[in-house]
Structure 1
Amino acid sequence: MTSTALIRPAWTPATIALTVVGFMVFWPLGLAMIAYIVWGDRFQNFRSDWRGNARGMWRGCGRNARRGAAPFTRTGNVAFDDWREKELDRLAEERRKLDEMRDEFDAYAQELRRAKDQEEFDRFMSNRRASKPDTGGETGNGGPVING
């Protein structure tokens, strides 16, 4: 590394002094300084590699967003590309049919639940009417009359 900075990843008097001070203040700081001295030249490469990969990832996302919903690009092999498009169209049609069948089943299941709920409600109401005692001592507000 040809850097002329005072604190660079090398065994210079400044880095050795910082390492010693780091161990005296808080031992992990000393270990961090040693790690910087030994592997510090790789940090610059790591940082630039990471930035390049992140840019490539975001660039790819932007390219896919501009292209729209088409998830695949042409390969250059016309026969393969035609076959793939036909298969994708066939799968999309199958997916549409399955979605329609699911919607029909959901409507059927909802109707069954409604019919079951109606049957349970009717049974409850008939049981309630049958078990309700017919008392003659009620007031107009529905409460019992208290004789006192």
Structure 2
Amino acid sequence: MTAITAWPGRAENWLDDRGKGAWIAAMVLGFIFFWPVGLALLAYMIWGKGMFGKNCSNRKSHHRAAWKMHAPSGNSAFDSYKAETLKRLEEEQEAFAEFLRRLREAKDKSEFDQFMDDRARRRSEEAREVEPAG
């Protein structure tokens, strides 16, 4: 699949990630700039995505799925394994977030040190230029 043929799918995913408001905004902008685009988006939203039907509660189903992830399954061995795995993953996520924070701090310190070194070097060069040749 080439970049030219892949952009509609990427655009659809981008709009889906932002919800109904993004689709509606895209449709309104389509009507403003070139009305056939707005009309095509409206038709796609109504018939292609079922956006205004009963099955469009994507965010609600996502929240329900997240809740079900923590709900007991009835199998105590599996529930125990799931709880341990989720705890381990949360700890790994926290450790990774801490690693990223330390990495950003180190990068910031490195960039600041480089800035200060460059500044000191420029000042010393300027001082040498100002001194009379003797």
Q: Which is richer in helix?
A: 2
Does 1 or 2 have the higher relative contact order (CA < 8 Å, sep 6+)? 1
TM-score, normalized by length of structure 1? 0.45
